[in-house]
Amino acid sequence: MGGRPPSDRSLAVVTESVRVGTRKSALALRQTELVVSALRREASETRFLVVPITTQGDRSRSPSQDLDFTDAIDRALEEGRIDLAVHSTKDLPARPTRAVSIAAFPRRADPRDCLVLRDARGLRSLPPRSRIGSSSPRRRAQLWRARRDLDVVEIRGNVDTRLALVRGGRVDGVILAAAGLRRIGRWDEVTEVLDRRRFLPAPGQGALAVATRASDRALESLVRPLDDRKTRAAVTAERTFVERIGGDCDTPLGALATVRGNRLTLRAEILSPDGRRSVGGARSGAPSSARALGGLLARDLLRAGAESFLAEPPPA
């Protein structure tokens, strides 16, 4: 699978059987099923084999360690043990390796966060000191900003594990991505969808990414029809913002870009870990200037004082 532009004949040979790597969680497998189904419509004669892989993020449950949900998958891709990889875009590092190329960002699903609560009807009706579970610094800061009296507690595990904590009474609620709950058929458990203007989601949330080896032109051509122009522009702006701001998974920041006609609008914010302070802003322009807009907005927020939040320790 070299880097030469393939002929029609070589493309058929290369794509006769394709191994698709993904995490082992129910959500990751479901997301991969969606991608594989779309690929089969594009290449009905190709055989696609799903290869579940355990990542560092799946092995570690320690809050003190950075969780990496892409490490082992990208390594398997680079080493040729799989041919494609399906990721949740929000899990991808802002700076991917040169050996891996994102061949397609399929059309994005709902990017918003939502609450699953045991008893209350919504965020406003939660009693003081209610225990809401989340491992995300962004979600924790945004919840504290909205309700200073909530007890936001650290939890780990996949979506099913987190929902079980609510049913079992270990927590009063959890905050999760709307797209994931829809994809695994658990939407009926949602109590409230959070306003994305107040709860800006994680960069890339709701979007999937299909990766190939950067040298594999044949598979890149196979995957390319799944790429959605608006989604690519939006997540490019969001991911560039994260890269230029110097953020990572431990930074309480949100970013969301939307494309309306020939206009892309990127909104982003960085919060202090306790949610008491925040700096936000927006930039708009043509979708073709997505990277530039992400860089400009990062510069705006850094000049407005966001840099002081980046090194601030989490609340005790």
Q: Which residues carry out catalysis? A: 91
Q: What is the rounded CA–CA span in Å between residue 225 and residue 15? A: 15
Alpha-carbon distance 197 to 203, whole Å? 14
- Provide φ and ψ at 204, rounded to 5°: 85, -5
CA dihedral (136, 138, 140, 142) in degrees, to 10, reads -150
For 212, the enclosing helix (H) or strand (E) is: strand 208-213
Measured CA to CA, the distance from residue 173 to residue 162 in angstroms comes to 9
The token pair that represents 227 in the structure block:
């790429």
Residue entry with tokens 């092995």: 59
Q: For residue 126, which phi and psi values (nearest 5 degrees)?
A: -65, 130
Q: CB neighbours of 171 closer than 8 A, spacing ≥ 6?
A: 118, 131, 132, 133, 153, 155, 165
Q: For the chain, how are helix, strand and coil distributed in percent, rounded to 5?
A: 35, 25, 40
Nearest to 257 by CA among 245, 265, 268, 249: 265
